[in-house]
Chains A and B, each alone.
Chain A
Amino acid sequence: MLRTEEMLLNMGPQHPSTHGVLRLVIKIDGEMIREVDPVVGYLHRGTEKLAEDLTYTQIIPYTDRLDYVSAMTNNYAVVHATELLMGLEIPERAEYLRMITMELNRVASHLVWVGTYLLDLGAMSPFLYCFKDRETILNLFNELCGARLTYNYMRVGGVKWDAPDGWLQKVEEFVRYMQKELNTYHDLISGNDIFLQRTRGIGIYTKEQALSYALSGSNLRVTGVPWDLRQHQSYSLYHQFQFEIPVGETGDVLDKYHLRMQEIAESLKIVKQVLGVIKEGPIMGKVPKVLRVPEGEVYAGVESPRGELGCHIVSNGKNKPWRLKFRRPSFYNLQILPELLKGENISNLVAILGGIDIILGEVDG
């Protein structure tokens, strides 16, 4: 065996496989990783501090920029917490529109993950398929609210825009198309030998570890914990609809891939059910022009594509929050990375890091 020396390797913050501006300081011994120190904060914009000087409606566009791959769920998190504090009734159509957009956004987000993750592993073509289909969703959103990524769509009490004529039909067409298209994805990716060899058996952690690190979303479910806030701490109108919570078996990165593909199918199922029951009606509840949120404290979590996205608001009865804190799932999920990489081969680094599915805008807040 060759004698090797320990050396410090810097990865990022400008590295395509870190999906943003994450920096990893890696101590390696030959090809073995001894220690990893993630350095975050390069994208810290102080959203929580800024929010203290903004009215509740003004905060919403800032949330678009946290998890910029699924801005709809971010919008909902802050709006939902505010509505809880105010005790507002939301019109049914508004809730349905919210659910449609959130679930479509989940599909889009998972497609981004599948595409970029395989790009990390060296596969180019799935990326093109994923982004082609994601583009359809972005176009639908563009038609609905005039933005492709930063939607600023939801408001306290409802949503800003009603669905334009024929929009719901387009969504339905897309759902039908996408449900079939998922088979193409499986044909293309799921059986690929290189993909299987790169992902099988790596990045495994136990259920206890996952709970202690407070992982959420697919990262928690992959260990076999059927935990989904949409069902277990039900919000919006999710309790009206049937959907499964897929869980993993082995807990490796390959499992995460299958899990997220199943979640796409479940989201499409939810959208299809919502489209069956949505009726005409108002899209805004009775909300005063100036939102004065009663004094109190609330923490409300919603299931974002990456896990539990929570919003902790302390209000002192003014039109601006006294304190607003986001529980950002990527931030929690990334914490386990040093644990996973210890003793791994350096060639697995990108495969494990990619599997966590982080968005740096959210990690840094």
Chain B
Amino acid sequence: MSDQKKEKKLATEAKAVTNEGVAMSDSVGKEQGAPKSDALSQGATEKGSAKNQPVSKEQGAPKSGTLPREEAKKGSEKSDSVRKEQDAQTSANPLSEQAGEAVTKPQAASVPPKKPTATPRPAVKKPVVEKPLEPSRKQPWLDKFVVRLKELEGSEHLEDAFINRVNHDLPTLVVKGEWWRSLALHLRNHPDCQFHYVQNFSSVDYETHLEVVVHLFSFPHKERLGVRIKVDRTEAKVDSVADIWDAANWNEREAYDLMGITFEGHPDLRRIMLTDQWVGHPLRKDYVPYDEGV
């Protein structure tokens, strides 16, 4: 537990860096991340120089005035929009986008900068930078796992594999929807995986795309695994896994009902929470209630 706590603390102190680590695994993310963080660290240094000393996160957040934070935010929004365009062109991993934002926010709120580029305090920063570079205790397992996954047919749909440090070092895969069903079969049946148990079945609207998020647990191997399945937003379709895990049946109905994801091959895809006549899918971010009487 003390280890966990340490890691937790560590993870937040230098969340920016861990997240960058995520982006690093994707070359596109890296390229995009670099110029952005420069722009930001400038904003950060401005603020930092006003304060004249590096502040720890706890002190930094409440003390720092609203003005510099807003400035930094504006900056980040701008660069965000630029990057979004790039994303659209290169169809890059939106993970990198998230990671990029994460880099900005903690920096804007608190001062510990993570890159010794233009800042005059290398001695203070160094420990912060180095700590998160320690690989997670789950990293070797994930590396081996990914090597085995790469041998599978359709493994080009595996977009990313990383460790979610905050979440008790949860190994997480990001895959395209096309591959989900065959991956699910592999995860459920292969003797090295045996993920028989669905811990959680969730869905997220990222506005650029939808995601089905499944958390699995393997009782024989005592391993947890998070899988994020990317689904197109306009044509939200993905193969059903209700015959692979019985637990997915109602959950897919719920995701269909509230998030508007169609699970192809589902035995009984009806609305489950709302009435059959309901218009729209409320958990979509652009949902507008439909009411004839108004």
Contact = CB atoms under 8 A, between A and B. Distances in A.
Contacts of A316: 98, 101
A335 B15 contact: no
Contacts, number: 134
With a 10 A CB-CB cut-off, give which of B5, B13, B250 has the most chain A CB atoms.
B250
B17 to A, nearest CB: 12
Contacts of B19: 295-296
A239 B5 CA distance: 14
A201 interface: no
Contact of B109 (A292, A312, A365): A292
B61 A44 contact: no
Contacts of B170: 299
A310 to B, nearest CB: 5
Contacts of A286: 58
Nearest to A225: B219
A301 B273 contact: no
B250 A331 contact: yes
B247 A317 contact: no
A298 B164 contact: yes
B62 interface: yes
B102 A327 contact: no
A297 B198 contact: no
A239 B1 contact: yes
A326 B172 CA distance: 19
Interface string A76-88: 0000000011110
B273 A310 contact: no
Q: Size band of the A side of the interface? A: 35 or more
Given A301-B199, A310-B200, A314-B204, A294 B245 contact: no
A335 B166 contact: no
Contacts of B8: 84, 87
B196 interface: yes
A288 B247 contact: no
Given A48-B283, A214-B199, A288-B61, A323 B164 contact: no
A321 to B, nearest CB: 11
Contacts of B249: 335
Interface in A210-237: 211-214, 225, 227, 233-234, 237
Contacts of A335: 246-247, 249-250
A129 interface: no
B90 interface: no
B213 interface: yes
B168 interface: yes
Interface string B1-23: 10001001101110100010000
Contacts of A332: 247, 250
Given A48-B258, A295-B98, A214 B205 contact: no
Contacts of B204: 314, 322-323
A258 interface: no
B68 interface: no
B179 interface: no
Contacts of A289: 62
A298 B203 CA distance: 13
A364 interface: yes
A327 B199 contact: yes
B245 A212 contact: yes
B199 A299 contact: yes
B282 interface: yes
A123 to B, nearest CB: 32
A212 B226 CA distance: 17
A212 B247 contact: yes
Given A214-B245, A325-B202, A297 B164 contact: yes
B1 A234 contact: yes
A40 B167 CA distance: 32
A212 B213 contact: no
B116 to A, nearest CB: 22
Given A225-B219, A322-B204, A214 B164 contact: no
B279 interface: no
A49 to B, nearest CB: 5
A294 B272 contact: no
B87 to A, nearest CB: 16
Contacts of A314: 204
Contacts of A145: none
Given A301-B199, A312-B202, A323-B205, A89 B9 contact: yes
Interface string B94-129: 000010011001100100000000000000000000
A104 interface: no
Given A288-B62, A325-B200, A298 B109 contact: no
Given A87-B11, A312-B215, A327-B199, 13 more contacts: A44-B273, A84-B8, A213-B246, A214-B197, A237-B1, A294-B105, A296-B102, A296-B167, A298-B164, A299-B199, A299-B200, A312-B202, A365-B273
21 contacts: A41-B274, A44-B274, A48-B258, A87-B9, A87-B13, A208-B196, A211-B197, A214-B247, A227-B219, A237-B1, A296-B19, A296-B167, A298-B164, A299-B215, A308-B199, A312-B200, A316-B98, A317-B105, A323-B202, A331-B250, A332-B250
